Structure 1
Amino acid sequence: MNTLGALDLARIQFAFTVSFHIIFPAITIGLASFLAVLEGCWLKSNNRVYKDLYHFWSKIFAVNFGMGVVSGLVMAYEFGTNWARFSDFAGSVTGPLLTYEVLTAFFLEAGFLGVMLFGWDRVGRRLHFFATVMVAIGTLISMFWILSSNSWMQTPQGIEIIDGRVAPVDWFKIVFNPSFPYRLMHMALAAFLSTALFVGASAAWHLLRGNDSAQIRKMLSMAMWMILIATPVQIVVGDAHGLNTLKYQPAKIAAIEGHWENKPGEPSPLVLFGLPDMDAETTHYNIEIPYLGSLILTHSLNKQIPALKSFAKQDRPNSTIIFWSFRVMAGLGMLMLGCALLALVLRRNAALYRNRLFLWFALLMGPSGLIALLAGWFTTEVGRQPWVVYGLMRTTQAASNHSAMQMSVTLALFVVIYFSVFTVGIGYMMRLVRKGPKACAAHDVTPAETLLATSRRPLSVAD
């Protein structure tokens, strides 16, 4: 800690809190839509399996939703305490965008969450389904505004700088900035994939333990279909996002590729593996495929990708970090596609629920969606450096005037509190997963004393 300055510690603290937080909204977004699909299928088919799965996953959704809200509150305060200069400079844009998120998504979720969790025996089927859909839409709207704000920091437009502060000029351009559509789709698909892998791993765990019920089979089947559909789409969206990043943040692409210089007239190779060295300005032990860098990143064999040496040293992102974080994300994406294709083959041979090697594979792939999600966010955020608002404000200009000692103490407190609170929460959520869905009629009848009870907290649905 003593070797790190206040700025480094502030960055570590925000990275730590946002990394913890992003896991919960990703699962919330995916589970909310999954619950809406389950209830819709139940209403259409009257198949009790879908209802049993709804009640099972709604408990996990409630716990996850609660942890997401709590972990997200901290970051709003960090903007003011640790990044006051950034808030002063860009608050006229980021403040309203985050306010829109509260006024639309949060109010929508809060208004219908109680009906969704506790309204099965109090409202009609269609009204309850409507509430579930509204909660699912609320999570997507929340993602819309958060991604719009963050994407504006990546590709700012629609503003003027007046007296050293950002002044909004065109809100349409601010909200729909150049990187926003690609990043919104990329994040939405990542949330769906993370949830599908989580659901699939849960089903695989039960099947490996001999719990071969209709509910467990349906979980695995639906999860594998989602992975099969979403992964190829994610690959296409990721490619389009890469082309957009090449246009607006070429230094980030150069750092991701560990690509330091171009040879005149030669297409750029693709560096598969290596050890980027920012001081020596080279990538050690690199394994390259000729021409492939130009083909993938420019869709051409006669164009070159930017080289890191073409940017001033103070404007280069840290290639040592994002070179590997990107490859973790991309490598796990290929494994997801392989898992989905293998499931398709086994499904055709009627062995999807019996092949133990595949079930172990699906179980081990459970956390891969969240790991890829975190790796993607590290690539995005570290790759934006040294800018906090790309091209307009450097990270060194954004931090509050705190001492290293103050930042060390608060970071240590965050680490202790987060691991204490959220380890317990995640452990409880995993305990619910281990219980598994059960076919029973208990959901259909609610005792009179429960109906007359006082208001209940959302987490009580998991009791």
Structure 2
Amino acid sequence: MDVFSNTVVLSRMQFALTATFHMLWPVLTTGMAIYLVVLEGLWLRTRNPQYYLHARFWSKLYLLNFGIGVATGLPMEFQFGTNWAPLSEAIGDFFGSVLGFEGTMAFMLEAGFLGIMLFGWERVSPVIHYLATIMVAFGANLSTFWILVANSWLQTPTGGTFENGKFIIASYGEAIFNPFMRNSVMHMFFATLETSLFVIGGISAWYIINKRHTEFFAKSLKIVLAVAIAVAPLQLYIGHLSGEQVYHQQPSKLAAMEAQWETIPAGQPASWSALAIPNDKEGKNNWEISVPNALGYILEFKKDLSEPVQGLNSWKPEDRPHMIGLVYYSFRIMIAIGFFLAGLMALSVLQWLRGKLSAGAIADQKWLMRAWIFAAPLGYIAVESGWIVRCVGRQPWTVYGAIRTADAASNLPPSNVLGSLSIFAVVYSLLFVSALFFGSRIIRQGPNMELPIPEVGPRANIEVKPVEHRPDQRPLETTQSSSQS
């Protein structure tokens, strides 16, 4: 098949490009917004000016991600009218409403309060500003909710029936709270939060290992670690629940995730494929390392399966997912990263308990700081891998079991789609380079430790410590006593 003459394939490639690139930005803003709420809340509670300076610094990276997220998110939705018009016509009464809810409820809420959060520090009272920060965080996470509602419905369509190729809604509630919705929303919520935590922790570790603002960023790393203690293991557990759901609701996707070609009957133990080389054409694995009986324990915490695991060969080739190697290894990459981040969190907590993360000792933990820097981009890779599993594993269906992808695409000239795909690739490449440039500049400049602290009432005395200034950067520390205004 000539890829460049196939409209469906080109439309899928374009949507994959725009979705994959767009996902990089709201992942951070959604989780970082919660982190900013925590920082500002700590500042208002303790009157410690360092929390205020943290909030001001991290909000710069938030704004950068928000701007690019908006610029890359809008073209995604437009594609439902250009490249996927038959799909929009068939399911638009529900799917279009949900995307409309995301725009009017979530995005407008986030965008409306964003200006107050970023520029209102000295223009509104601290309480009003804190309310604006909470609304930004709520709007960002509400956006995640509606997007996951829409995508979960594509995975498990409920709440109505298809009549003459068009979805007729019987119950909005049933459609919104479809079987995949709860676990999907929770899994993505914790994914965005965990990714943001390890990005913030990785940036903090970079400052620490370079001995810049060591005490300042040791504090941010500890805040990250305190939240990650709960988030990292919870994400693993919710991921397990999502896997169980795929087992019961989407057997063909599970077979692709595990490169399972032959059916394993109920009541029998099942081996888990740790590594393999799937062969789509011959319907087998050319090479495999498996763990006996492990799949049953992974799916149901017991040796024997209560339901069969259907093999890919039990479906006709046109009715099952392809690109099995992509789905198979994307799933394993996501799982491996989840366990690595949880392990790094546990190891860091151990060092914290041993007193190795104090301001005076943390810079000596170079191996640990390097591990945090290495972990900073891993959350992005895990999120992208998870969406590959979710969407590629759903094929050949756009609406699982109801509308095939081949029937959902618009009948456009391949040259038109190839042209728009090429333009997106160029523009998004420029945006990515720009984001790296401005993001790195924000990080190189570091926090502005000389910002005036707004008066919010009595504050605890902050001990003034002499600091050594380097000629090539701002002061390493700043302190404030209760006499400052």
Q: TM-score, normalised by structure 2?
A: 0.89
Q: Which moved more, 1:205-214 or 1:195-204?
A: 205-214
Q: Which moved more, 1:102-111 or 1:318-327?
A: 102-111
The answer (yes or no) to whether the contact 2:296–2:303 under 8 Å persists in 1 is yes
| Alpha-carbon shift at residue 121 of structure 1 (Å) | 1.1
Q: Secondary structure at the match of 1:90?
A: helix
The answer (yes or no) to whether the contact 1:30–1:195 under 8 Å persists in 2 is yes
Moved >3 Å (runs of 4+): 1-4, 262-266, 441-445
Find the partner of 2:317 among 313, 321, 324: 313
- Residue 396 of structure 1 aligns with which residue? 406
Task: Tell me the alpha carbon deviations over residues 185-211 of structure 1, each in whole angstroms, 9 at most, x when there is no partner.
Answer: 000000001101110110111111111
Aligned partner of 1:332: which letter? I
Q: Pairwise mapping of residues 254-333 of structure 1 onto structure 2 (< 5 A)?
A: 254-262=255-263, 266-303=268-305, 304-318=308-322, 319-333=324-338
Cα distance in 1, alignment partners of residues 136 and 269 from structure 2: 49
- Residue 73 of structure 1 aligns with which residue? 74
- Residue 136 of structure 1 aligns with which residue? 137
The answer to whether 1:145 aligns with 2:149 is no
The answer to whether 1:349 aligns with 2:354 is yes
Q: Secondary structure at the match of 1:283?
A: strand
- Residue 216 of structure 1 aligns with which residue? 217
The answer (yes or no) to whether the contact 1:58–1:117 under 8 Å persists in 2 is yes
Q: Secondary structure at the match of 2:124?
A: coil
Cα distance in 1, alignment partners of residues 255 and 302 from structure 2: 17
| Alpha-carbon shift at residue 345 of structure 1 (Å) | 1.3
| Alpha-carbon shift at residue 59 of structure 1 (Å) | 1.0
Cα distance in 2, alignment partners of residues 401 and 120 from structure 1: 51
Cα distance in 2, alignment partners of residues 212 and 60 from structure 1: 18
User: Percent of aligned pairs with the same residue?
Assistant: 35
Cα distance in 2, alignment partners of residues 228 and 116 from structure 1: 28
Cα distance in 2, alignment partners of residues 263 and 323 from structure 1: 18
The answer to whether 1:407 aligns with 2:417 is yes
Task: Choose between structure 1 and 2: higher helix proportion.
Answer: 1
Q: Secondary structure at the match of 2:393?
A: helix
Cα distance in 1, alignment partners of residues 51 and 370 from structure 2: 25
- Residue 227 of structure 2 aligns with which residue? 226
The answer (yes or no) to whether the contact 1:225–1:340 under 8 Å persists in 2 is no
Aligned partner of 1:290: which letter? P
Task: Tell me the alpha carbon deviations over residues 58-81 of structure 1, each in whole angstroms, 9 at most, x when there is no partner.
Answer: 111111111111100101111111
Q: Which moved more, 1:244-253 or 1:432-441?
A: 432-441
The answer to whether 1:193 aligns with 2:197 is no
Find the partner of 2:342 among 326, 337, 340: 337
- Residue 452 of structure 1 aligns with which residue? none
Q: Secondary structure at the match of 1:384?
A: coil
Cα distance in 2, alignment partners of residues 208 and 20 from structure 1: 30
Q: Which moved more, 1:413-422 or 1:45-54?
A: 413-422
Q: Secondary structure at the match of 1:105?
A: helix
The answer (yes or no) to whether the contact 1:208–1:359 under 8 Å persists in 2 is yes
| Alpha-carbon shift at residue 253 of structure 1 (Å) | 0.6
| Alpha-carbon shift at residue 113 of structure 1 (Å) | 1.2
Find the partner of 1:384 among 352, 376, 394: 394
The answer (yes or no) to whether the contact 1:49–1:214 under 8 Å persists in 2 is no
Q: Secondary structure at the match of 1:231?
A: helix
Cα distance in 2, alignment partners of residues 230 and 134 from structure 1: 22
Structure 2 residue runs of 5 or longer lacking an equivalent are 456-485
Aligned partner of 2:270: which letter? S
| Alpha-carbon shift at residue 212 of structure 1 (Å) | 4.2
Shift in CA distance, 115/76, structure 1 to aligned 2, threshold 3 Å:
same
Aligned partner of 1:183: which letter? S
The answer (yes or no) to whether the contact 2:154–2:398 under 8 Å persists in 1 is yes
| Alpha-carbon shift at residue 219 of structure 1 (Å) | 1.4
Q: Secondary structure at the match of 1:301?
A: coil
Cα distance in 2, alignment partners of residues 209 and 117 from structure 1: 28
Task: Tell me the alpha carbon deviations over residues 393-452 of structure 1, each in whole angstroms, 9 at most, x when there is no partner.
Answer: 00000001112222211111110111112321232022212322242234649xxxxxxx
Q: Which moved more, 1:129-138 or 1:345-354?
A: 345-354
Task: Tell me the alpha carbon deviations over residues 231-260 of structure 1, each in whole angstroms, 9 at most, x when there is no partner.
Answer: 110111011111111111011011101111
Q: TM-score, normalised by structure 1?
A: 0.93
Q: Secondary structure at the match of 1:295?
A: helix
- Residue 98 of structure 1 aligns with which residue? 99
| Alpha-carbon shift at residue 262 of structure 1 (Å) | 3.9
| Alpha-carbon shift at residue 317 of structure 1 (Å) | 1.2
| Alpha-carbon shift at residue 104 of structure 1 (Å) | 1.1
Aligned partner of 2:287: which letter? Y
| Alpha-carbon shift at residue 2 of structure 1 (Å) | 5.1
| Alpha-carbon shift at residue 338 of structure 1 (Å) | 1.3
| Alpha-carbon shift at residue 298 of structure 1 (Å) | 3.0
- Residue 445 of structure 2 aligns with which residue? 435
Q: Which moved more, 1:273-282 or 1:102-111?
A: 102-111
The answer (yes or no) to whether the contact 2:194–2:231 under 8 Å persists in 1 is yes
Q: Pairwise mapping of residues 419-430 of structure 1 onto structure 2 (< 5 A)?
A: 419-430=429-440
